[in-house]
């Protein structure tokens, strides 16, 4: 049995189940206060539309340290000479909806209307951000996530053109490195993330690093520098 939430407090993450890995609690809501409390403790929501809200803290945790992002030779060439433009926070809801679009081999999506509304509110308040890849005036890839202090929590990516999401992630990692962000939370292990340099660390280490990073001063304005890959 997992506990049901009746207030803003979460159980200790050490109480999360081993199977399914990281399931910690159920219930509550997606209010800004609850989401911020969750992220401060390394907890995130993940559930299907129409089902109870489920809260997770897996062990181990997949993370990307900004200076460990792997830029292949072909991607570096694209970053320097491609026809793309990278923007920040210019189309947050569009990015979320693109991430929610049906994908080949996937059954449904966890990014439903309740999640979109909650994270759009976090974006309005300055906590959630999108990094977008544009080509010829068209949004072709990107990602979104949360920032607290000098910690970034990646939520989802999408790509409609070759390497479009990688372009966005490469710019994010490079800029976060300059801003002294310590980690990008990737939540769960996937081969794609591992190929880009993400790796698993024990949850205990993740939480310890997290507590240091969220207490750092936040970035005053999310504007990416133009010389990240010149």
Rounded distance, CA 143 to CA 156, Å?
Answer: 6
For residues 157 and 209, state if they share a domain. yes
Residue appearing with tokens 């977008």: 132
Q: State how far the Cα of 227 lies from the Cα of 187, in Å rounded to an integer.
A: 29
What is the span of the domain harbouring residue 137? 62-214
- Matching residue, tokens 């693109």: 98
Task: Return the pLDDT at 109.
Answer: 74
| In a shared domain, residues 77 and 147 | yes
Q: What CATH number does residue 27 fall under?
A: 3.30.70.3550
Tokens 């129409």 sit at which residue? 50
> Averaged over 19-29, what is the pLDDT?
97
CB within 8 Å of 38: residues ≥ 6 apart = 10, 44, 45, 55
Judge whether 223 lies within some domain.
Answer: no
Convert the pLDDT of each residue in 113-171 to its tens digit: 999 999 999 999 999 999 999 999 999 999 999 999 999 999 999 999 999 999 999 99
Structurally, the chain folds into a number of domains equal to 2
Give the residue among 150, 63, 142 at the shortest CA–CA distance from 99.
142
Q: Check whether residue 40 and residue 73 sit in a common domain.
A: no
- Structure confidence by residue, pLDDT tens digits, 165-216: 999 999 999 999 999 999 999 999 999 999 999 999 999 999 999 999 999 9
Supply the pLDDT for residue 105: 54
Q: Is the pLDDT of residue 38 over 80?
A: yes
pLDDT of residue 6: 86
Angle between helices 113-124 and 32-40 (to 10 degrees): 80
Query: What per-residue confidence (pLDDT) applies to 230?
Result: 78
> For 77-111, what is each residue's pLDDT tens digit?
999 988 999 999 999 999 999 999 987 655 557 89
Same domain, 70 and 93: yes
Three-state secondary structure readout of 54-97: EEECCCCEEEECHHHCCCCHHHHHHHHHCCEEEEECCCHHHHHH
Q: CA 45, CA 30: separation in Å to the nearest integer?
A: 8
Closest to 154 measured CA to CA, from 99, 202, 101 = 99
Q: What is the pLDDT of residue 108?
A: 53
What is the reported pLDDT for 110?
85
Residues 204 and 119 in one domain: yes
Chain segment 42-66, per-residue pLDDT in tens: 999 999 988 999 999 999 999 999 9
């Amino acid at each position: 049995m997992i506990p049901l939430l009746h207030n803003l407090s979460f159980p200790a993450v050490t109480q999360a189940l081993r199977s399914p890995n990281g399931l910690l609690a159920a219930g509550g809501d997606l209010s800004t206060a609850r989401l911020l409390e969750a992220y401060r403790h390394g907890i995130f929501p993940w559930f299907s539309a129409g089902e109870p809200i489920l809260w997770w803290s897996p062990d181990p945790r997949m993370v990307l340290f900004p200076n460990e992002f792997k830029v292949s030779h072909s991607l570096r060439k694209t970053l320097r000479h491609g026809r793309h433009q990278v923007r920040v926070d210019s189309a947050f809801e569009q990015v979320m909806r693109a991430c929610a679009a049906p994908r080949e081999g996937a059954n449904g999506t966890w990014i439903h209307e309740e999640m979109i509304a909650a994270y759009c509110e976090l974006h309005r308040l300055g906590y959630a951000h999108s990094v977008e890849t544009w080509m010829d005036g068209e949004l072709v890839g990107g990602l979104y996530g949360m920032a607290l202090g000098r910690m970034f929590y990646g939520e989802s990516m999408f790509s409609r053109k070759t390497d479009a999401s990688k372009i966005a992630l490469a710019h994010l990692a490079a800029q976060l490195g300059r801003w002294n962000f310590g980690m990008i939370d990737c939540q769960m292990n996937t081969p794609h993330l591992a190929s880009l340099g993400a790796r698993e660390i024990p949850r205990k280490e993740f939480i310890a690093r997290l507590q240091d990073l969220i207490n750092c001063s936040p970035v005053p304005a999310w504007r990416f520098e133009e010389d990240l890959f010149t």
